Structure 1
Amino acid sequence: MIKTLLILTILFVSVLCAQIQYETRAVWVATNFRLDWPPQTLNPDIQINALTEIFDSIKSKNLNTIYFQVRGNGSVMFNSPFEPYSIYLTGNTGIKPAFDPLKLAVKLAHERNLEIHAWLNIMRCYSGSKQNILQSSDRLLNAHPEWVRKYYEDGKVSYWLDPGLPEVRKYLIDLISEAIKKYDIDGIQLDFMRYPGKNFNDLNTYRRYGNGLDLNDWRRKNITAFLSQLYSSVKRIKPYIKVGVTPIGIYKNSVNARGWEGFSEVYQDSETWLKDKIVDYLVPQIYWDLNNNPKFFTVAKTWESISNNRNIVLGIAAYKNHIKHEIPEMIDFSKKLNTAGVALFRYENIRDYNFTNFDHWAFPAQMHWLKLPGINLPVINLSAKILPGNSFKIKFSWKTFDKDRTKHFFRSFILSGDAGRGKEFVDNPITLNDSTSVLQIPKPDKINYDFHLNIIDRLWNVKQVSKNKAIQYKPLTVLANNPKPIFRPILLKDKNGFKIILASGITDTARIVSLNKDKIENVLMQKLLKGINIIEINKIDIESLQISIKAADKKYKLNLKY
């Protein structure tokens, strides 16, 4: 068998990628009403397996961020002294399940190098038709009925907390802060952080706390005050936690984007949040298509224009069939607009979807204003050896480091290589528990390579933790030391066979005749490409070899050089 490798200006391919890409690729995993999880069973083993399969699927699609719903309909998916466990886990509200769903979700996400945000419904504490969900005495509707207001949405009853009550805002901040202390989440995402509409029954609260403000301004002030207080609390506990909000799609109406408006209808003053830097990212629910008013493009541009250097992730309505075929164009537009990325609503709607835009992994978009505590980087001794065989494979190894005190601040290792010409190439992320990695350079185009080991911190910063390790590709060393490599081919041998290295000024054909020890002749025809060709011959018993180059009208008898 003969193979030809052309060496011109070919860079690392297939195994190494050119650079680390930063782009948030998020998906919502809904637990309310069992929309995505848990499945229609109360068996904890099946529930655990189902969540594992979801996270495996998300990883396989090269997505990198999960918004995991932990509070919906006034109950939670984590162990909390404030609110009861969800009815969907055991069949009864408030009953402790066999496992902690949020703890499991964090473990599954981090094992797969995924970022996980706890997604919470904030002001709405019940919607739907199943009254048995409301039976627990721990539910706010029963424990604090004075905080809750009834509201009709599309003719159906729902219950909302009154944002104008200081005790409501404090309660929510305490609930979320306690979860942040207990769980190793990467962020929180606040949904339904708004009023349900203009005809909300809060006039008594307004009379008590309005202080002469216009009702509309007062309502906006209540939502903004809650977010500001929560943001400060979160940053005091863990400064690196990302605080996000998913506002409704239209901030303020414009010519090509008219509809339900966040600012005046539900009192979300998103631009002030961004200006005051009391939010790290927004995921506006831009749940429309490309062509009809309100247009996706127009709404997305508006959000990015008011970002104030905070991250804007474009929410896409993957649940709408007429939008699914537009998803690739929406993703491309998010890149063109230089947003932080996209988020798909929701997992079940993209479970069988193939993301053609995401053919390689990426890290979530960075937030450079976030900081980690001062921690010492590990110092790691990197060793390497070239593996036997025709391909250029390198096995790297290192000793793992003591992660107990710093494990919350690091995510993974990643190997980087100097590809020459001022370019750096990287391997796939490696877990912190691994201590070896094998890289293959399919088409080496230079002699000397330098590699080093990096560590990825939880904010996705890449930091070098080993010295450079120099590697030489010996076949090209021989070629470089040959006095006239352009004019005469070179025959090399290793454990797996032979290589012919030759240069051709044009596209040509070579006739290769080899004789083994029994004088049996093998004739092979091989196409030559313009440049330096490496012809691999997977035989171990060649006695002699002659090569004739057709167009150049040259003949050579080759002897081993290496």
Structure 2
Amino acid sequence: MTPSPLLTTGIVCMLSGAFGQTWPSREFRAVWVATVANLDWPSSKHLSSSQQQAEMVALLDKMETLNLNSLVFQIRPASDAVYNSSLEPWSRYLSGTEGNPPSPFYDPLQFVLNESHKRNIEVHAWFNPYRAYLDGWLAKKYPQYAHSIGGNSVVMDPGAKVVQDHVYNVFTDVINRYDIDGVHMDDYFYPYPGSAVHFDDHITYNAYKAAGGKLSLADWRRDNVNTLVKRLSDMIHVKKPWVKFGISPFGIWEAGHPPGITGLSSYDAIYADSRKWIREGWLDYLTPQLYWKIDPPQQSYTALLDWWLQQNPHHHHVYPGNAAYRVFDKSHWPVTEIQRQVEETRHRAAQNSLGNVLFRMGSLHSSVYGIFHDNLYSNPALAPIMSWLHTSFTGPAIPQNVVTGPSYITWSVDETGTVRSWAVYELNGASWKLVKVMNRDIVYFTVPRHGKYAVRGVDRLSRESGEVVVVVSGNISVLG
């Protein structure tokens, strides 16, 4: 029940230049939620729809408690769909059988979008472009382009035009039909080296050469991946220029870059020219998977992060991926390692190092949960603004009819359709601190203490309106 309105004490003013925060007010705080093999969600392929939904609500509630603002949600784990698709079958990880929808029927992606946006959490739809299963529909449709990498797993040939076009069409379909905030690809392109892997794509490569192609096999493979990345970038930014496009490649582009770094070269081993993608400006953000400690020189988190930041002439965003799972696996990392990595990321904010993506949701418990809840993410943050995204959206409306009471602030519901969230700031000494982000339907805030507050509208691109500043003193009488 809304209390009786009180005398308005707010004044409209523009304080943009005065908003210096003691906490980072803009930071990409994301976590991967893997559906493949039921790693994060759903916990079992035998759950009912209501059980799946309850698990997702609990997951999102946990994210909200941790002040995470972005979910990287795997919707295409293996040439299948964790959403209602006419192009690919329902994922086996939802029902136990490929092609069978959740029962009773619902659309998991739409459910995730609705519930996430209620909590001011962006949804980045995570696709694996080439993975499939030997007994899956795509491998059966194009067996000549399905290459085994052991067991039931196959990688579809990136050099086959029908495979490229199908993957492109799947992405396009999701962009057209869902109100997602981002498109995300992981690090699986050509298969990683292994004893069971012999990727025999001589048929497609020979056809390329017969048609006059001059590239070597390695360069041709890289060009196949580059072509898909460029096509997707162009499509996304034309169809919905407000949707962000990001990729999370293996953390080492090529051994020796920077000097002293050793290990697998993704440029040579899986034919991922990830440096090119950020240098060309095709991506809005890059999330190199920097799953190593800071101190070992062979694969140093900070050395690699600094190198990636130097490959960014368009000044797009870099959100490194962090191996939170290593606190609990045989690596036995101290949780302070993850804390240091986030702090080192923040120290490089001036170089567009503007957040982190944690792998994975199942690791956000115990000491990892505690370090984020109590320290790193104890205050909320808005996602960073990508100023290069061209959109016809006008900025968010300024809050209207702001009134205060002895311990609360309230304002009118947005009628313009430009506001996704409301941000409430508190004056803390000489600077403003973000204390709460609420969805567009919540227009009431109980203040933690008396003082000076500011309310701003926030749109889907995290742009903020001007602010209404109010003083909550507890000395105002209820009117009427």
For Structure 1 versus Structure 2, the TM-score category normalised by the shorter chain is: 0.7 to 0.9
Structure 2 match to 1:268: 272
1:55 equivalent in alignment to 2:60: yes
TM-score where L is the length of structure 1: 0.71
1:202 equivalent in alignment to 2:201: yes
How has the CA–CA distance of structure 1 residues 435 and 233 changed in structure 2, closer, same or farther, with 3 Å as cutoff? Answer: same
Kindly report which structure 2 residues correspond to 1:71-90, keeping only aligned pairs within 5 A, or say none. Answer: 71-90=76-95
Structure 2 match to 1:290: 294
Kept after mapping to 2: 8 A contact 1:396/1:438:
yes
Q: What is the distance in 1 between the residues matched to 2:285 and 2:469?
A: 39
- 1:116 deviates by 1.2
How has the CA–CA distance of structure 1 residues 72 and 471 changed in structure 2, closer, same or farther, with 3 Å as cutoff? Answer: closer
Kept after mapping to 1: 8 A contact 2:42/2:94:
yes
- CA deviations 1:239-295 (Å, max 9, x no partner) are 011111111121111243211111111111112111211111111111122333222
1:70 equivalent in alignment to 2:81: no
Structure 1 or 2: larger strand share? 1
| DSSP-derived class of the 1:222 partner | helix
- 1:471 deviates by 4.5
- CA deviations 1:461-508 (Å, max 9, x no partner) are 1112x7x46648599xxxxxxxxxxxxxxxxxx99xxxxxxxxxxxxx
How has the CA–CA distance of structure 1 residues 71 and 437 changed in structure 2, closer, same or farther, with 3 Å as cutoff? Answer: same
Larger Rg belongs to: 1
How has the CA–CA distance of structure 1 residues 110 and 385 changed in structure 2, closer, same or farther, with 3 Å as cutoff? Answer: closer
1:95 equivalent in alignment to 2:108: no
1:118 equivalent in alignment to 2:125: yes
Greater length-normalized contact order (CA 8 Å, ≥ 6 residues apart): 2
Kept after mapping to 2: 8 A contact 1:317/1:323:
no
Structure 2 match to 1:498: none
Kept after mapping to 1: 8 A contact 2:399/2:456:
no
Structure 1 match to 2:43: 39
Q: What is the distance in 2 between the residues matched to 1:51 and 1:472?
A: 37
Q: What is the distance in 1 between the residues matched to 2:380 and 2:423?
A: 13
Q: What is the distance in 2 between the residues matched to 1:420 and 1:239?
A: 39
- CA deviations 1:311-346 (Å, max 9, x no partner) are 111111122232352100111111112212111111
Counterpart residue identity of residue 374, structure 1: F
1:366 equivalent in alignment to 2:385: yes
Q: What is the distance in 1 between the residues matched to 2:334 and 2:176?
A: 38
1:188 equivalent in alignment to 2:183: yes
- 1:426 deviates by 4.4
Structure 2 match to 1:323: 333
Kept after mapping to 2: 8 A contact 1:17/1:427:
no
How has the CA–CA distance of structure 1 residues 397 and 258 changed in structure 2, closer, same or farther, with 3 Å as cutoff? Answer: same
- CA deviations 1:418-465 (Å, max 9, x no partner) are 7786x44544123211233333544x5xxxx6x65421011111112x
Counterpart residue identity of residue 333, structure 2: I
Q: What is the distance in 2 between the residues matched to 1:17 and 1:441?
A: 18
Q: What is the distance in 1 between the residues matched to 2:472 and 2:354?
A: 39
1:431 equivalent in alignment to 2:439: yes
Counterpart residue identity of residue 412, structure 2: K
| DSSP-derived class of the 1:26 partner | strand
1:398 equivalent in alignment to 2:411: yes
Q: What is the distance in 1 between the residues matched to 2:235 and 2:97?
A: 32
Counterpart residue identity of residue 186, structure 1: D
Kindly report which structure 2 residues correspond to 1:447-486, keeping only aligned pairs within 5 A, or say none. Answer: 453-464=455-466, 468=468, 471=471
| DSSP-derived class of the 1:429 partner | strand
Kindly report which structure 2 residues correspond to 1:529-544, keeping only aligned pairs within 5 A, or say none. Answer: none
How has the CA–CA distance of structure 1 residues 420 and 77 changed in structure 2, closer, same or farther, with 3 Å as cutoff? Answer: same
How has the CA–CA distance of structure 1 residues 324 and 224 changed in structure 2, closer, same or farther, with 3 Å as cutoff? Answer: farther
Q: What is the distance in 1 between the residues matched to 2:472 and 2:31?
A: 43
**Alignment match of 1:228 (pick from 227, 230, 236):** 230
Q: What is the distance in 1 between the residues matched to 2:129 and 2:402?
A: 51
How has the CA–CA distance of structure 1 residues 324 and 239 changed in structure 2, closer, same or farther, with 3 Å as cutoff? Answer: farther
| DSSP-derived class of the 1:188 partner | strand
**Alignment match of 1:256 (pick from 249, 254, 260):** 260
Kept after mapping to 2: 8 A contact 1:19/1:424:
no
How has the CA–CA distance of structure 1 residues 472 and 67 changed in structure 2, closer, same or farther, with 3 Å as cutoff? Answer: closer
**Alignment match of 1:343 (pick from 344, 357, 363):** 357
* RMSD, aligned α-carbons: 2.6
Kept after mapping to 2: 8 A contact 1:193/1:223:
no
How has the CA–CA distance of structure 1 residues 383 and 320 changed in structure 2, closer, same or farther, with 3 Å as cutoff? Answer: closer
Counterpart residue identity of residue 138, structure 2: L
Of the structure 1 ranges 430-439 and 234-243, higher mean CA displacement relative to structure 2 is found in 430-439
1:299 equivalent in alignment to 2:298: no
Structure 2 match to 1:535: none
Kept after mapping to 2: 8 A contact 1:24/1:364:
yes
- CA deviations 1:89-143 (Å, max 9, x no partner) are 22221112222111111112111111111111111223xxxx7xx25xxx10112
| DSSP-derived class of the 1:343 partner | strand
- 1:297 deviates by 2.1
- How many residues align structurally? 431
Counterpart residue identity of residue 364, structure 1: A
- 1:177 deviates by 0.9
Structure 2 match to 1:412: 421
- 1:223 deviates by 0.7
| DSSP-derived class of the 1:323 partner | coil
Counterpart residue identity of residue 364, structure 2: I
**Alignment match of 2:111 (pick from 104, 108, 112):** 104
Kept after mapping to 2: 8 A contact 1:124/1:192:
no
Q: What is the distance in 2 between the residues matched to 1:418 and 1:29?
A: 35
Q: What is the distance in 2 between the residues matched to 1:313 and 1:377?
A: 26
Counterpart residue identity of residue 460, structure 1: S
Q: What is the distance in 2 between the residues matched to 1:263 and 1:376?
A: 40
Structure 2 match to 1:314: 320
Structure 2 match to 1:556: none
- 1:20 deviates by 6.1
Structure 1 unaligned residues grouped into runs of 5+: 1-15, 388-392, 476-493, 496-562
How has the CA–CA distance of structure 1 residues 470 and 119 changed in structure 2, closer, same or farther, with 3 Å as cutoff? Answer: closer
- 1:372 deviates by 3.0
Kept after mapping to 1: 8 A contact 2:380/2:434:
no
- 1:386 deviates by 3.9
How has the CA–CA distance of structure 1 residues 31 and 213 changed in structure 2, closer, same or farther, with 3 Å as cutoff? Answer: same
1:25 equivalent in alignment to 2:24: no
| DSSP-derived class of the 2:37 partner | helix
Counterpart residue identity of residue 302, structure 1: W
| DSSP-derived class of the 2:319 partner | strand
- 1:88 deviates by 2.2
Q: What is the distance in 1 between the residues matched to 2:432 and 2:344?
A: 27
| DSSP-derived class of the 2:420 partner | strand
